[in-house]
Amino acid sequence: MVLALVACGGSDERAPAPAPHSVPPARPAAPAGPEAIVLRVPRNGGVARVFDMQRLDSAVWTSDVKAPAIARFLAFDEDAGTAVVVDTRGAPRRIEFRTGNVTPPPTVKLTALRSADGAAVYGVSAAGLVTRLTPTDAAPWTLRMPEAARDVAPQPDGSLLVVAEGPTATKLWRVHPPAATLLDSAVLPRAEHLVHATVGDRAYFASDSDLQTVRTRDLQLVRLRHFSRRVRAVAPTPSGDRVFVALDSAATLRVVDRYNDNDDASVTLPGPAADLRMDPLGRVLLVRPVHGADTAWVVAVGTGRVIGPVRTVWTADLPFVTADGSLVVSMGADAQLLDIQSLHLQRAVPGGGRDYWIPLRWNGFRPRAPGLDQPVTFPGAAPADSGDSILAAIRRSQADSAAHAPVTAATPPVARPVVDSAQGRIATAAPTGYTVQFAALLDRDSAQARAARITVDGHSAHVVAAPRGAATVYLVVLGPFNSRADAEAAGHASKQANPWIYAGAP
């Protein structure tokens, strides 16, 4: 009885009112983890912009150059802050958040472009060679398979599955680039219609009316499931415990359970499905109907219930589900955000239908902690002038490097700082000019030797010691320069592979 009374708390009349201001108001919690953002690029190409998903009316970042029209999104490199896309001409492009640049298309023509981490992009050349493109490789890495490759599937562990179509069968190989050794192989029945999806440690290959489950670590066939109709689309859940299968001319979805070899479940649809798109968090499944170009069905993954239809065009990017449970749809020039449970309108985004949407999670636009932008000081050094503390620290690092450098190494000129205004709501320190970085090495002598080999207009690159926790990384750099154009010209004149140009000092 006492516990029950305490839980209920009695009536409001007998409860004493709390004293005003007796409890100080709680401060808002500091954001934890990556923030939900969205990259939007005009569908016909143009300036790329990044928005906070909670504030879609104000961009937090804008590219310095125009981005191409996008055909599909490949992956996001969180370390580099780079979104990798395929333009409408079939070329991979990188949209760099840190520099505001968009990379030009590569010279090699590739198909079946895939990427697991945004750093390495794999594709197949016209001759059937497996090709890898990375920002640091001077030339594309290629691998000739026993038969001409048709498709590739990069894995999160760095390995790569290669698909080839033989005269009588579909063949799979597993390699771990840059090594060329074939680690495993498998043979599947050949089919003209091939659909595959990879999640976790399973790869699902649908050929005609068969769904074959292959274990990615050794390419062992785990399960073969035969259907009475041809497989149209496959969508595994993020955990890989279930696979939703759309069959040709069937108004049901078959649900294959990874842990149950008995009869599979099914989801009844209003009509046959043409395509499937899984919510990244596995809450709902989006279904594109065969009949109805302006409609999509929303299916609850947990219950297998059709929540209802929504009006939207179906493109490579839309509709999609955001991390906070909103369904982004588009009909015409505007975009709308709907609640995925009730399908009620939450808010509209004027002009959003004219953009290609890429949802991402990244904390690179979060305001920096104030302590990170304090002047750099060194033991025993005289205090620097507050207005030029960064440049003074760089000069001290250059002098320290010059003391250990060969006599022939020249001291590079130091440009005056250039202050750029921040965009949107980003609260970051103003960068000081532009720096060209060629390498980041753990060995000081190796860094000095590398710097001595890089000369631009009579000035050699120099080494800057950058503490990283308990270790020290030695950066081989030139600059800072007054403008990005000057830095790019120096990087090009250095004839070094893929120099990194960024705003501010190292």
The bridge status of strand 55-67 relative to strand 46-52 is: antiparallel
Count of H-run helices and E-run strands, the chain: 4, 37
Percent of the chain at pLDDT exceeding 70: 78
CA 10 to chain centre: 53
Segment 403-432 mean pLDDT: 41
pLDDT digits (tens, 9 = 90+) for 62-74: 999 999 999 999 9
Q: Which residue has the higher pLDDT, 52 or 188?
A: 52
Segment 180-192 mean pLDDT: 85
Q: In terms of C-beta distances under 8 Å and separation of at least 24 residues, what long-range contacts does 411-419 make, across chains too?
A: 411/459, 411/462, 412/459, 412/460, 412/461, 412/462, 412/478, 412/479, 413/459, 414/480, 415/479, 415/480, 415/481, 415/482, 415/486, 416/391, 416/482, 417/388, 417/390, 417/391, 417/480, 418/482, 418/483
pLDDT higher than threshold 50 for residue 388 = no
pLDDT higher than threshold 50 for residue 385 = no
pLDDT higher than threshold 90 for residue 136 = no
Q: In terms of C-beta distances under 8 Å and separation of at least 24 residues, what long-range contacts does 316-319 make, across chains too?
A: 316/70, 316/71, 316/72, 316/73, 316/356, 317/70, 317/73, 317/356, 317/357, 317/358, 318/357, 319/277, 319/286
Q: Which residue has the higher pLDDT, 153 or 292?
A: 153
Strand-pairing partners, residue 140, are none
Segment 128-135 mean pLDDT: 95
pLDDT digits (tens, 9 = 90+) for 252-281: 999 988 887 666 789 999 999 999 999 999
Segment 287-316 mean pLDDT: 94
pLDDT at 379: 56
pLDDT band at 233 (very low <50, low <70, confident <90, very high): very high
Half-sphere exposure of 39 (CA within 13 A, CB side): 27
pLDDT at 20: 44
pLDDT higher than threshold 90 for residue 396 = no
pLDDT at 165: 82
Report the C-alpha gap between 38 and 164 in whole angstroms: 35
Domain spans, the chain: 35-362, 370-503
pLDDT band at 194 (very low <50, low <70, confident <90, very high): low
pLDDT at 431: 53
Report the C-alpha gap between 149 and 120 in whole angstroms: 18
Residue 133, H or E segment: strand 130-133
Q: In terms of C-beta distances under 8 Å and separation of at least 24 residues, what long-range contacts does 50-58 make, across chains too?
A: 50/97, 50/365, 52/365, 52/425, 53/322, 53/323, 53/324, 53/326, 53/359, 55/425, 56/347, 56/349, 56/352, 57/349, 58/424, 58/425
pLDDT at 204: 85
**Residue 96: helix, strand or coil by DSSP?**
strand
pLDDT higher than threshold 60 for residue 24 = no
Burial of 230 (0-12, 13-18, 19+ CB in 10 A): middle
pLDDT at 465: 86
The bridge status of strand 184-189 relative to strand 130-133 is: unpaired
Segment 396-405 mean pLDDT: 50
pLDDT higher than threshold 80 for residue 163 = yes
Q: Which residue has the higher pLDDT, 39 or 189?
A: 39
Which structure tokens are listed for 2? 């006492």
Whether residue 219 contacts residue 162, with contact meaning beta carbons closer than 8 Å, is answered with no
Identity of residue 59: A
The bridge status of strand 252-257 relative to strand 242-247 is: antiparallel
Which structure tokens are listed for 459? 């000035």
Segment 110-135 mean pLDDT: 95
pLDDT higher than threshold 80 for residue 384 = no
pLDDT at 212: 86
Query: What integer best gives the mean pLDDT of the chain?
Result: 81
Q: Which residue has the higher pLDDT, 410 or 472?
A: 472
Decide yes or no: CATH 1.10.10.10 for domain 35-362: no
Residue 394, H or E segment: helix 389-404
**Which range (12-16, 44-48, 173-177) has the least confidence?**
12-16
Segment 39-52 mean pLDDT: 96
| Residues 6+ positions from 221 with CB-CB distance below 8 Å | 186, 212, 213, 214
pLDDT digits (tens, 9 = 90+) for 72-98: 999 999 989 999 999 999 999 999 999
Burial of 426 (0-12, 13-18, 19+ CB in 10 A): middle
Q: In terms of C-beta distances under 8 Å and separation of at least 24 residues, what long-range contacts does 381-389 make, across chains too?
A: 388/417
CA-based angle 65:67:69, to the nearest 5? 155
pLDDT at 489: 83
pLDDT digits (tens, 9 = 90+) for 469-501: 667 888 888 888 888 888 888 888 888 877 888
**Residue 194: helix, strand or coil by DSSP?**
strand
pLDDT at 422: 39
pLDDT higher than threshold 90 for residue 448 = no
Task: Tell me the torsion sign for CA atoms 95, 96, 99, 103.
Answer: negative
pLDDT digits (tens, 9 = 90+) for 313-358: 999 999 999 999 999 999 889 999 999 999 999 999 999 999 999 9
Half-sphere exposure of 456 (CA within 13 A, CB side): 22
Report the C-alpha gap between 92 and 83 in whole angstroms: 10
**Which range (30-39, 219-228, 326-335) has the least confidence?**
30-39
**Which range (103-107, 130-134, 488-492) has the least confidence?**
488-492
pLDDT higher than threshold 70 for residue 220 = yes
pLDDT band at 237 (very low <50, low <70, confident <90, very high): very high
The bridge status of strand 92-96 relative to strand 462-468 is: unpaired
| Residues 6+ positions from 300 with CB-CB distance below 8 Å | 283, 284, 306, 307
**Which range (158-172, 370-384, 440-454, 492-506) has the least confidence?**
370-384
Whether a cis peptide bond, with omega within 30° of 0, leads into 350 is no
